[in-house]
Amino acid sequence: MNKFALFDTLVTGAGPVGLTAALALSERTERKIAVIDNVKILSPQPYDQAWALSRSVIQNLADLNIDVTPYSAEINEIIADTKSHHKPALSFLDKNSGRNVISSLLKKDLWQQVSNRSNIHIINDKILGVEQNLNGNGNSTVTLRGAKNSYGGRLVVGADGKKSGVRKGLGIGIHTHHYNQTAVTAIVKHTNPHRQRAVEFFMPAGPLAMIPYPGDRGEGNYSTLVWSVNNDSADAFLAQSIAAQESLLTRLLEDIYGACTYASAPPLSFPLQKQKATESTGQGWVLIGDASQSIHPVAGQGLNVGLRDAFQLASYVAQSEQLGLKFEEAVNLKSYEASRQTDRTSLASSTDFLVRLHQVKSNTTRRLSRFGMGLVDKNIAGIKNLVTKFV
Ligand SMILES: Cc1cc2nc3c(=O)[nH]c(=O)nc-3n(C[C@H](O)[C@H](O)[C@H](O)COP(=O)(O)OP(=O)(O)OC[C@H]3O[C@@H](n4cnc5c(N)ncnc54)[C@H](O)[C@@H]3O)c2cc1C
C-alpha cells in the first residue's frame, strides 16, 4: 500500500553530494531529514575510480568526521605539459594541494556516518514524480512520488545527478553543450613512481590527466587516467585490444611513467557535456551537485563544486533558523543561490575555455595547443586558476 511520510528536508540522491548535504544539515540543524535513493551502496571494488578533491573540501569533510586520508593519495605537485617537448611546460610545487580519493570508499564512509545519525532516515525508493503544494501561508510542501511510497518535505534537495528526475518533475529546463568528446578513464599501474605529481598532458587528441592513486603499500605506482578524447578517436582507441591500448599509453607516457598497464580493465567511458539547470532554486526546493550543473572533468572540479553546494546549503539553512527565518521561502533560497553563483560560473567557464582551446582538429591542433600553452605560460596566475583550481 502506498504510504505518505512527512519530513523537514527530503534529499533525493545518495551520491556523494546528497549524502554530504544530509550529513552537514544533520550536524548543523535539528531537522528531520530523509535521504532517498533507488540504488543501495555497492561494495567497493579493488580499483574503483577516484575523485581529486581540494584541500579546503577535504577539511570541510573532516569537520563532518569524514577522514579521507586512509583511502586517498596526496597530490603535491601539478604539472601541465603540451607533450611538444620533454620538459614539462609548467609546474608548481604546493605541499598537500589536495588528494585523489577512491570514490566508493568515500561514499561508504559518508553512508556509514549518515546511518549513524538519529535524525536521518534512509529510504530505498525510486522517485517518479514531483508535486508542489503552494498554500501561500509560508507552509508549502513538495511531494515526491516514489515507486513504493510518497514523501512530503518542507524543503526538497534534488541531488539526483545529471539526469535529475526532481529537476524534470519540477519542470526546470537545462542548457546542454556536447563537447563531442568521451572521457576514457581507468586505474593505470606504471613502472616509475608518480612522486605525488598530477600531470595534465595537452595532447592533440585531447587532454590526458594522470593523478596519483592510492595503490597497495603506498608504492606510488598507480595513477588515475582521465583522457578526454574526441569521440572518433575514443571509439578507435577502445576498439583495440587491452594489450594494444596499454602499449599506446606506454608510448605516450613512458618518459615520465615507464611501462603502463591497466589495474582496472576495460577502461570506463563517459560522453562529455556541460550542463546547467535554467533555475536551481524555487519555493521549497533546491538543486545541488550535478543536478544543478555538471562540467567537463578536465580540471577535476565537478564534485568539488557540488560538495561546496552542500556545505553552503547547510550553512544557509542553519543561519536562517538562528534568525527565525523560513529557509524554504523562495527569497531565502535565492540568496543561497546567489552565494554559489561566482564559484559555479567561474569554474564552468574556465574549464569550458580550456577544453575549447584544445579542441581543434588534426594538423592545426598541435600548433594551436602550443600557442594556447604559450599564452597561459605568460600568465602563471591564469593557468594556475584554469588548470589547477582544485588546490
Ligand atoms: C571521467 C570523470 C572524472 C571526474 N573526476 C572528477 C574529479 O577528479 N574531481 C571532481 O571533483 N569531480 C570529478 N568528476 C565529476 C564527479 O564525478 C561528479 O560531479 C559527481 O559524481 C556528482 O555527484 P552527485 O552526487 O551530484 O551525483 P551522482 O553521483 O550522479 O549521484 C546521484 C544519485 O542520485 C540517485 N538517483 C538518480 N535518480 C534517482 C531517482 N529517480 N530516485 C532516487 N534516486 C535517484 C542515483 O542512484 C545516485 O546515487 C568527474 C566526472 C567524470 C565523468
DSSP 3-state helix, strand, coil percentages of the chain (rounded to 5)?
40, 35, 30
Tell me, using a 6 A CB cutoff, whether residue 146 lines ligand 1.
no
Give the span between the Cα atoms of 161 and 171, in whole angstroms. Answer: 16
Q: Please list, residue by residue across 21-58, b when 16 or more beta carbons sit within 10 angstroms of its beta carbon and e when fewer do.
A: bbbbbbebbebbbbbbbbeebeeeeebbbbbbbbbebb
pLDDT average, residue stretch 223-243 = 94
pLDDT tens string 158-176: 999 999 999 999 999 999 9
Indicate which residue's Cα is closest to atom 44 of ligand 1: 37
- Is pLDDT of 370 > 80? no
User: Sorting pLDDT into bands at 50, 70 and 90, what band is 371?
Assistant: very low
Closest CA to 292 of 382, 162, 105: 162
pLDDT tens string 175-200: 999 999 999 999 999 999 999 999 88
pLDDT tens string 11-59: 999 999 999 999 999 999 999 999 999 998 777 787 899 999 999 999 9
Q: How far is the CA of 187 from the centre of ligand 1 (A)?
A: 18
Give the span between the Cα atoms of 254 and 98, in whole angstroms. Answer: 25
Q: Which atom of ligand 1 is nearest to the CA of 164?
A: 38
User: Sorting pLDDT into bands at 50, 70 and 90, what band is 215?
Assistant: confident
Which amino acid is it at 243? A
Q: How far is the CA of 17 from the centre of ligand 1 (A)?
A: 8
Q: Is 206 left (phi over 0), alpha (psi -120 to 50) or beta?
A: left
Alpha helices in the chain (DSSP H): 16-28, 55-62, 103-115, 165-169, 231-239, 242-257, 302-322, 330-358, 362-377, 380-387
Q: Is the pTM of this model over 0.85?
A: yes
What does the pLDDT read at residue 148?
Answer: 95
Q: How far is the CA of 15 from the centre of ligand 1 (A)?
A: 6
Indicate which residue's Cα is closest to atom 38 of ligand 1: 160
Local structure of 134: helix, strand or coil:
coil
Local structure of 28: helix, strand or coil:
helix
What does the pLDDT read at residue 226?
Answer: 95
- pLDDT, the chain, mean: 87
pLDDT average, residue stretch 274-287 = 96
Q: How do 150-158 and 4-12 pair as beta strands? A: parallel
What does the pLDDT read at residue 34?
Answer: 97
What does the pLDDT read at residue 284?
Answer: 94
pLDDT tens string 46-101: 789 999 999 999 999 999 999 999 999 999 888 877 554 445 555 555 556 799 99
Ranked by mean pLDDT, the top range of 77-81, 90-94, 228-232, 288-292 is 288-292
Which domains are delineated in the chain?
4-43+106-176+273-349 (3.50.50.60), 50-103+179-271+356-387 (3.30.9.10)
Chain centroid, CA 244 distance in Å: 30
Do residues 216 and 73 touch, judged by C-beta distance below 8 A? no
Do residues 310 and 336 touch, judged by C-beta distance below 8 A? no
Answer positive or negative: Cα dihedral of 271, 276, 278, 280: positive
**Residue of 55, 303, 308 best suited for mutating to test ligand 1, as the one with most atoms within 8 Å of CB:** 303
pLDDT tens string 131-145: 988 776 667 789 999
Between 385 and 226, name the one with better pLDDT: 226
Residues sharing a CB contact under 8 Å with residue 363, sequence separation 6 or more, in sequence order = none
Closest CA to 333 of 373, 387, 296, 279: 279
Q: How do 90-102 and 50-54 pair as beta strands? A: antiparallel
Tell me, using a 6 A CB cutoff, whether residue 160 lines ligand 1.
yes
Residues sharing a CB contact under 8 Å with residue 274, sequence separation 6 or more, in sequence order = 176, 177, 179, 294, 295, 296, 348, 351, 352
Give the span between the Cα atoms of 77 and 94, in whole angstroms. Answer: 6
Tell me, using a 6 A CB cutoff, whether residue 182 lines ligand 1.
no
Tell me, using a 6 A CB cutoff, whether residue 35 lines ligand 1.
no
- Is pLDDT of 366 > 80? no
